[in-house]
Chains A and B, each alone.
Chain A
């Protein structure tokens, strides 16, 4: 990815900054300067908002054939997560066995490396999520990762 393309989204990626719409009292991620539900009225009424980073898993899936750049993680958990303020986000859930993640589990955001352009290219950082506050064994068990098969 080109440097400017990544650079202009640093704060929204690193700090989970999105938008709050004063017209409809709703939150949006990623940042939007226009709220599709409020239309033209929302222009100028969208404020930056830093999400708390807590949310709930809507639907997880265990990815066995990894996305380009994610080969080292496979198998890994991708999920649609609903942030507590309302908007949904697609993100990786890390630091746990991928098959332990279920709908309804609580998650919180962590700052992680997303990838790199090449050995000498820019590094991409951003937000991923970890399980927290769930009544299960969240601990990563390196030895058991190879056994994952649903």
Chain B
């Protein structure tokens, strides 16, 4: 296996981008990433696209060819592949490119994620998100995506005594981080009491426990490490990659207070890299709901099961704490554009490891982890990155 490095990144602001199409978003971030990498289209061996829902929200499938075409890569006949695993589509697209380069099949790949969630009504975009759970036996039966996480949250509360105040501290912390990130969808601080008083969505989860459904795009350039120095003097190496799946329906799981696929994917990434959770300087996790961040931190092994919520309230996951989590603002406040989210996480880590994160820079950041999952973590993807 060859080592693989990230040599370029590009990202849009996430939000309600009504004046931009999927193809325009793809082009904008793709160009930004290849400019950042200092490569030309002649250097690109393959394109991977993370996208969850173009078929539902835009009536457009085959978005790999679409993005390749509008990025000017079709006339060079560059292979383009779409990767779909609900909200894990972006992270999984990176893993596909990583494996292709590590395996020696290609040297340079552009991985883009793009999603348009606000061209349709709130009701339609919410149902689209539900399709990441079991459409037939959960969504169609009346279970919203939030209600499934509400059930997970209740079980976590019952098992470990997790409180409303602790959940609110997660959203408030992510908003604080977003206030330092000019590319965040919601770049403003939020008082935990405001989270606790926001409208009920599905007991016990409230409106400000939930990440938005955003438009947005993000792209990275991956390159075989032995060739990376040709293009950049600060490549960031992917030293671990893990993926795991679980039952699609939450009700078929043994435990309702855990998301074990995250644990299995993280273990694989730690084994690959020969690192331990305590070695990490910062983490991006998939906080589609506040409870998801808490459980992800426990599954990754940052905190013992039942400890993450307490540590969040104590400020240990905030910038300046023992392990800063979601310095980008996370899904909650940077925004959540499903196919782009897993790539946006990686971009935040690259910026931190390069020392380019501005006001939210984690001092001496050398080692970082990203956790991205789809549905109720029926797919989980974990990557570990290291500054070279």
Chain A interface (Cβ < 8 Å from any Cβ of B): 1, 9, 30, 58-59, 61-70, 73, 76, 78-80, 88-92, 99, 103, 114-115, 124, 126, 149-150
Contact = CB atoms under 8 A, between A and B. Distances in A.
Contacts of A68: 123-124, 126-127
B226 to A, nearest CB: 42
B66 interface: no
A92 B142 contact: yes
Interface residues of B, number: 33
B203 A61 contact: yes
A67 B204 contact: no
B32 interface: no
Contacts of A58: 256
A88 B251 contact: yes
Interface of B: 123-124, 126-127, 130, 136-144, 146-148, 150-151, 154-155, 158, 199-204, 249-252, 256
11 contacts: A63-B150, A64-B200, A65-B201, A67-B126, A68-B124, A70-B142, A78-B143, A92-B141, A103-B158, A115-B140, A150-B200
Contacts of A89: 137, 251
Contacts of A80: 151, 250-251, 256
B140 A61 contact: no
B154 A67 contact: no
B151 A114 contact: no
Given A68-B124, A92-B142, A150-B203, A63 B147 contact: yes
Nearest to A59: B151
A90 B127 contact: no
A111 B43 CA distance: 61
A64 B201 contact: yes
B141 A126 contact: yes
A-B interface, 4 closest residue pairs, ranked by CB to CB distance from nearest: A88-B251, A61-B150, A68-B127, A92-B142
A30 B250 contact: no
Given A61-B203, A90-B137, A149-B200, A66 B249 contact: no
B144 A67 contact: yes
Contacts of A59: 151, 154-155, 256
